[in-house]
């Protein structure tokens, strides 16, 4: 069972909630509608193989150990990441590719070393910037163009 959303009691509460649902960071990777759309686009384009990013009631348990779905970067995905200039650190302690269940979208967003490196590269390229609200992210005009042209993501807010 999911907790009921906190009531919106002011314009500030509504603005904050909307910004965090649209695009935010989850630790060091992208989340919210943007993060979910990014993973879905990578799956659709064959850059990531595995699960489809959905949560299936009665099948997928959100935080149960050993029930996570496996995602893998494909050869085409590795090439795409390389062309984009995304360097994946050789860190054996953290999974190369992982996911989180997004608390606003109830779908998977990308995490692990790839999720972290991709988010860092988006910040470096100026595709996203930190928002005024803590953890919020704003997609720039350049970022919108990239997301639309390269990944087919045209709506994420």
Per-residue confidence band for 1, with pLDDT thresholds at 50, 70 and 90: very low
Domain positions in the chain are 20-151
Identify whether the C-beta of residue 121 lies closer than 8 Å to the C-beta of residue 86: yes
Q: At residue 37, does pLDDT exceed 80?
A: yes
Per-residue confidence band for 20, with pLDDT thresholds at 50, 70 and 90: confident
Backbone angles phi and psi of 39, in degrees to 5: -60, -45
Percent of the chain with pLDDT over 70: 76
The pTM is what? 0.83
* Average pLDDT over every residue of 10-26: 72
pLDDT digits (tens, 9 = 90+) for 78-119: 999 999 999 887 777 888 898 998 888 888 999 999 999 999
Q: At residue 154, does pLDDT exceed 60?
A: yes
How far apart, in whole angstroms, are the C-alpha atoms of residue 4 and residue 1? 9
- pLDDT confidence of residue 28: 95
How far apart, in whole angstroms, are the C-alpha atoms of residue 109 and residue 102? 6
Tokens standing for residue 56: 């299936």
């Amino acid at each position: 069972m999911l907790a009921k959303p906190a009531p919106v009691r002011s314009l500030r509460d509504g603005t904050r909630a909307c910004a965090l649902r649209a695009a935010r960071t989850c630790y060091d990777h992208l989340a919210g509608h943007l993060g979910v759309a990014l993973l879905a686009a990578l799956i659709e384009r064959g850059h990531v193989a595995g699960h489809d990013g959905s949560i299936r009631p009665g099948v997928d348990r959100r935080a149960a150990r050993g029930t996570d779905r496996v995602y893998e970067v494909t050869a085409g995905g590795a090439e795409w990441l390389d062309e984009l200039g995304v360097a994946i650190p050789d860190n054996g302690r953290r999974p190369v590719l992982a996911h989180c269940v997004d608390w606003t979208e109830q779908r998977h967003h990308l995490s692990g070393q790839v999720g972290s490196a991709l988010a860092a590269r988006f910040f470096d390229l100026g595709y996203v910037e930190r928002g005024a609200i803590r953890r919020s992210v704003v997609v720039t005009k350049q970022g919108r163009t990239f997301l639309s042209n390269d990944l087919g993501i045209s709506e994420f807010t």
